[in-house]
C-alpha cells in the first residue's frame, strides 16, 4: 500500500520521548475528508485520551470545507480513533503508568483511508529539551565542517 503524508506534529518529538508507536484509523465526516485532502489540518496541540474503553483525539484542527454549507462539523471536535479492544487495553495499561501520554505523531493516507500514527511517550523536562537542541546543533556544526573541508 502506498502512503501519502498529510501532516506531522512538530512538537511531538520535542516535548516527548516516544517509546511505542501504533497506527490507528479515525472516524471522519465527508467534508472533513475533503478538507484534509486539500491539506487544511493542524496537529500541533492535539492529544489522545481514553474514555469508556474508547480512544478519542482532542485538539486536532480540521478547517471547515469551503463548499460544505450545513454539513461542516466543528473544527476542534473530538474524533474517535479506531482500534481493536486488545490494543485499547494495551494503551490503557501504558498510559496509567506515571507520566505517559498518547500523542499523535503524523496523519497520512494509506490507500484511501486516513490513518494516524499515535505515540506513547513520556514528557520531557526542560533540561532534556536543551540537551537535545545542543546535540542537534553539534551534529549540524560537524556536518557543515565536513562539507567545507572537501578532501
In angstroms, how far apart are the furthest CA atoms of the chain? 64
Q: What end-to-end distance do the CA atoms of the chain give, in Å? A: 42
Res 124: pLDDT: 79
Entry pTM:
0.76
Place of cell 520521548: 17
* Per-residue pLDDT, 56: 93
3-class secondary-structure state, position 88: helix
C-alpha cell at 113: 483511508
Q: Which of 32, 43, 58 is nearest to 114 (CA)?
A: 32
Q: What is the pLDDT of residue 104?
A: 92
**CA–CA separation, 147 and 99 (whole Å):** 41
What is residue 71's DSSP assignment? G
Instruction: Give the CA-trace dihedral at 30, 51, 3, 42, to 10 degrees.
Output: 70
Note the pLDDT of residue 150.
61
CA dihedral 128, 21, 92, 88 (to 10 degrees): 170
Residue 79 to residues 12, 26, 40, 96, 129, Cα–Cα distance (Å)? 19, 7, 16, 21, 30
Q: What pLDDT is attached to residue 16?
A: 84
* Length of the chain measured in residues: 151
Can you tell me whether residue 68 is helix, strand or coil?
coil
pLDDT digits (tens), the chain, 151 positions = 688 888 888 888 878 888 888 999 998 878 888 888 888 888 888 888 888 889 999 988 888 877 767 767 767 788 899 999 998 888 888 888 777 888 999 999 888 888 999 988 888 788 788 888 888 889 999 888 888 876 5
Amino acid at each position: 500500500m502506498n502512503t501519502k503524508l498529510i501532516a506531522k506534529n512538530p512538537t511531538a518529538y520535542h516535548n516527548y520521548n516516544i517509546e511505542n508507536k501504533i497506527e490507528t484509523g479515525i472516524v471522519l465526516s465527508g467534508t472533513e475528508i475533503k478538507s484534509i485532502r486539500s491539506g487544511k489540518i493542524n496537529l500541533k496541540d492535539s492529544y489522545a485520551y481514553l474514555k469508556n474503553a474508547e480512544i478519542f483525539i482532542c485538539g486536532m484542527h480540521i478547517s471547515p470545507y469551503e463548499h460544505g454549507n450545513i454539513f461542516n462539523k466543528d473544527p476542534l471536535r473530538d474524533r474517535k480513533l479506531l482500534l481493536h479492544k486488545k490494543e485499547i487495553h494495551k494503551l490503557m495499561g501504558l498510559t496509567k503508568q506515571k507520566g505517559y501520554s498518547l500523542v499523535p505523531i503524523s496523519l497520512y493516507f494509506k490507500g484511501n483511508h486516513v490513518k494516524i500514527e499515535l505515540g506513547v511517550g513520556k514528557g520531557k523536562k526542560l533540561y532534556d529539551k536543551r540537551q537535545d537542541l545542543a546535540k542537534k546543533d553539534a551534529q549540524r556544526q560537524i556536518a557543515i565542517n565536513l562539507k567545507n573541508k572537501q578532501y
